[in-house]
Amino acid sequence: MTNVENHAEYDKLGFWERNKLSGGYLFKKVVGQRAVSIIRFILLFGMCFMIIQPILNKISVSFMTETDLYNPIVIAIPEHFTTANYRLSAELINYRESIFNSILISLTIGAIQIAMCTIVGYGFARFEFPFKKFWFACVILVILIPPQTIASSLHLHFRFFDVLGLFKLITGETLNLRGSKVPYYLMSMGCMGLKNGLYIYMIRQYFRNIPGDLEEAAYVDGCGTFKTFVRIMLPQAKPIITSCFLFAFVWQWTDGFYSRMFLGNTKLVSTGLSRIVDSLGAYIQRINGVKTTISVAYSNCILATGTLMIVAPLIILYLFAQRAFVESISSTGIKM
Amino acid sequence: MSKEKNKLAGLQKRKAISGYLFISPFIIGFLVFMVKPLFESCYMSFCEVNLAAGKVTKTITGLQNYKNAFRVDPEFNRLLWEEISRMMVYSLAIIVFSFFVALVLNQKFHGRALARAVFFLPVILSSGVIVGLESNNQLMANLAQTIEQTTQGISVTDALESVLRTAGVGVRAYEKVFEVINNIYDVALASGIQIIIFLSGLQTISSSMYEAADIEGCTKWESLWKITFPMISSLFLVNWIYTVVDFCMRTDNKVIEKIQKVMIDQQQYGNASAMSWIYFLLVVAFVGVTSYFISKRVYYYD
């Protein structure tokens, strides 16, 4: 009533007078809002702490000496500050070599996978052709099939690799591609790498939401399909391609399954990390000359340090590209 | 007239051909690296596979491998049952948790960007080998044990659990719930992508709906169930499938570990294929049945 007629006068009133005018509604509303925001803060703080705590814990453990690990008084801040753990785990994982390898592999594999998935996703989004539904069901199937199901036969497939019996005809023997990088690159070119079905799905979803006017204009002006795709559609799909590439990079970086299966001979950070405890045992045995059991605490300390060293590049990447990770997934508007 | 029709058909044909050209990498990859190995591993699961002197010999043994997996192998049955029941409980928990977190993160408050960044951090941290290493972290387990011992088991969940137990209501169901609550860290780590998907859905709901409901005297609780829930119900299906699939491909999955062990360490390719087919078929059946029931409930706005 009053607040519409003379607004200026209403603004001058104190909180309690305004509350009285609204019949107690204002007070209730403010209290409710405060309570909600306090509860929300406690909840979020607790959950964020829960997610971050292991990282903080790893950071503090990684600077401790072995005696600190057993000292019940030392909890978060090490008494004897040391960086020896970092040096040791860098040596155990072959940090310099394997990080170089990992960057190289993740970049190239990620780039190939995303390039192929973009082409395929565009094909699914923009063209009508017979059996389209069937092929798309195959994409969904690729998402659903755990790679472990076909692992054993892929294993043999590449052990005795052959294209239509050509190699056997020429050299008399099948190719042994076990341990070489070639099979994995081939698989990436065929969109069968790590979680590639998911990328195809996301990219298709994004392309479907782009209006087709520009594309039709390009066709009318005599632009071919592939040229239209490269010149007109690709620039518009930059956000989704960036975020898919980031995912491909990160997932390839930490992947254990494909790395162990196809890239066993290449030193990678992920395989190095999964073996770090064993290599610690071998290392200590080499120094002492006798077989010694390493204490659980110490091996975990080295494991924590190794994990930190491997995750650190990813966290830095995430801090810079956080928007790209999150926003463009929301923009695909995933729906079934 | 007929000429025009011909031309149209030609354009459609051209389009179809370029469509096939675009998806040809997928088709080739699918046929070579998915269908062929899939059939081969299916065939191998009925065979005794011998790898000797650089040659593979396969002799058909019928259902022997499947019998081995179910009857002879001492742990496969147990692991399979454990993993599937764990998958049901955890997938449910992940869906509920991520829906709740997405609801909270969708509100406006100070520091929202920071909170979002923290909640999506698991997308990076809980991938690949890191999950498996995280789960057998002895140091943390020891710490938890010490805390439990020094506090004489006084924790909120324990207290609640004992109260409920003395009250005598469905004990087993509560045990599962408390197990999930005690492992909320695992749940939070596995729900990064799901939160993003729910958030994207929440942002597409137009605010005019909520305003209209508000004016009509709808409480927040009611509009949650009457507006929010139906509007993003299709995302529940997407998230459910993603969660289940993600869960059964994780590296710390006991069945997967078992299969890897049988295949790589013991070199029993036939047995390993049979086990992975059993697992795969069970998971597909589970996904199929559950998503059929969910999709019946899904509401499509447009």
Same domain, B296 and B155: no
Instruction: For residue B109, give the chain A residue with the closest CA.
Output: A37
Same domain, B100 and B205: yes
Instruction: Lowest mean pLDDT of A209-218, B15-24, B225-234, name the range.
Output: A209-218
From the list B199, B279, B283, the residue facing A330 with the nearest CB is: B199
Beta-carbon separation of A152 and B28 below 8 A: no
Does residue B264 lie within any of the structural domains?
A: yes
- How do the domains of chain A map onto residue ranges? 1-43, 88-331
Same domain, B165 and B179: yes
* Tokens standing for residue A264: 């066993």
Looking at residue B278, its amino acid is: I
Same domain, B120 and B137: no
- Counted across chains A and B, CB pairs separated by less than 8 A come out at 255
CA distances from B29 to A107, A265, B19, B203, B295 (A): 21, 24, 16, 36, 30
Q: What domain range includes position B165?
A: 127-189
Which residue did the predictor score with more confidence, A136 or A3?
A: A136
Q: Is residue A316 a contact partner of residue B121, using CB atoms and an 8 Å limit?
A: no
Q: What is the mean pLDDT of residues A87-101?
A: 88
What's the pTM value of the predicted model, to 2 decimals? 0.81
Q: What are phi and psi of A292, to 5 degrees?
A: -125, 145
3-state secondary structure of B56: strand
Cα of A164 to nearest chain B Cα, Å: 11
What pLDDT shows up at residue A118?
92
What is the per-residue DSSP string for A192-258? -STTHHHHHHHHHHHHHHS-SHHHHHHHHTT--HHHHIIIIIHHHTHHHHHHHHHHHHHHHHH--HH
Burial class (CB in 10 A: 0-12, 13-18, 19+), A321: middle
Same domain, B150 and B281: no
Interface probe, candidates B47, B79, B125, chain A, greatest A C-beta count within 10 A: B125
3-state secondary structure of B51: strand
Same domain, B170 and B159: yes
Q: What are phi and psi of B8, to 5 degrees?
A: -60, -45
Which residue did the predictor score with more confidence, A37 or B15?
A: A37
* Tokens standing for residue A104: 């190289």
Beta-carbon separation of B256 and A148 below 8 A: yes
Question: A58-92 burial, b for 16+ CB within 10 Å, e for fewer?
Answer: bebbbbbbeebbeeeebeeebeeeeeebbebbbeb
Question: From the CB of residue B74, how many other CB atoms can be counted at a distance below 10 Å?
Answer: 7
- pLDDT band for B8, please (50, 70, 90 cuts): low
Instruction: Lowest mean pLDDT of A28-37, A65-74, B72-81, B185-194, name the range.
Output: A65-74
Instruction: Lowest mean pLDDT of A68-77, A226-235, B47-56, name the range.
Output: B47-56
What pLDDT shows up at residue B135?
56
Same domain, B298 and B176: no
Cα of B288 to nearest chain A Cα, Å: 11
Does residue B86 lie within any of the structural domains?
A: yes
Does residue B54 lie within any of the structural domains?
A: no
What pLDDT shows up at residue A296?
75
**Tens digit of pLDDT for each residue in A253-295?**
888 778 877 777 778 888 888 888 888 888 888 888 777 777 7
Does residue B161 lie within any of the structural domains?
A: yes
* Tokens standing for residue A257: 């399954």
Res. A204: pLDDT tops 80? yes
Does residue B159 lie within any of the structural domains?
A: yes
What is the Cα–Cα distance from B48 to B68, expressed in whole angstroms? 12
Instruction: Lowest mean pLDDT of A18-27, A272-281, B160-169, B218-227, name the range.
Output: B160-169
Residues of A in contact with B112 (CB under 8 A): none
Please give the tally of structural domains in chain B: 2
Q: Helices B76-106 & B192-204, crossing angle to 10 degrees?
A: 40
Instruction: Lowest mean pLDDT of A38-42, A274-278, B282-286, name the range.
Output: A274-278
**Tens digit of pLDDT for each residue in A311-329?**
888 888 888 887 776 665 6
Q: Is residue A80 a contact partner of residue A68, using CB atoms and an 8 Å limit?
A: yes
Same domain, B164 and B212: no
Same domain, B163 and B217: no
What pLDDT shows up at residue A168?
62
Report the half-sphere exposure of A298 (CA within 13 A, side-chain side): 14
Residues of B in contact with A329 (CB under 8 A): 193, 196-197, 200
Interface probe, candidates A136, A150, A229, chain B, greatest B C-beta count within 10 A: A150
- pLDDT band for A113, please (50, 70, 90 cuts): very high
Which residue did the predictor score with more confidence, B127 or B92?
A: B92
CA-based nearest residue to A269, from A94, A85, A91: A94
**Tens digit of pLDDT for each residue in B70-126?**
888 888 888 888 888 888 888 999 999 999 999 998 888 888 888 888 888 887 777
Same domain, B91 and B135: no
Using only the alpha carbons of chain B, give its radius of gyration.
25
What pLDDT shows up at residue B94?
92
What pLDDT shows up at residue B2?
47
CA-based nearest residue to B34, from A131, A196, A177, A160: A196
What pLDDT shows up at residue A175?
64
ipTM for the predicted complex comes to 0.78
Same domain, B164 and B296: no
User: Average pLDDT over chain B, rounded to whole?
Assistant: 80
Superfamily designation of domain A88-331: MetI-like (1.10.3720.10)
3-state secondary structure of A161: strand
**Tens digit of pLDDT for each residue in A138-170?**
888 888 777 777 776 777 777 766 665 556 666
What is the Cα–Cα distance from B180 to B185, expressed in whole angstroms? 9
Does residue B24 lie within any of the structural domains?
A: no
Interface probe, candidates B87, B129, B280, chain A, greatest A C-beta count within 10 A: B129
CATH number of the domain bearing residue B203: 1.10.3720.10
CA-based nearest residue to B58, from B66, B47, B67: B47
From the list A122, A154, A303, the residue facing B133 with the nearest CB is: A303
Res. B147: pLDDT tops 60? yes
Question: A7-26 burial, b for 16+ CB within 10 Å, e for fewer?
Answer: eeeeeeeeeeebbeeeeeee
3-state secondary structure of B243: helix
Same domain, B176 and B289: no
3-state secondary structure of B300: coil
**Tens digit of pLDDT for each residue in B154-196?**
666 677 777 777 766 666 777 777 778 777 888 888 888 888 8
- pLDDT band for A112, please (50, 70, 90 cuts): very high
Res. A177: pLDDT tops 90? no
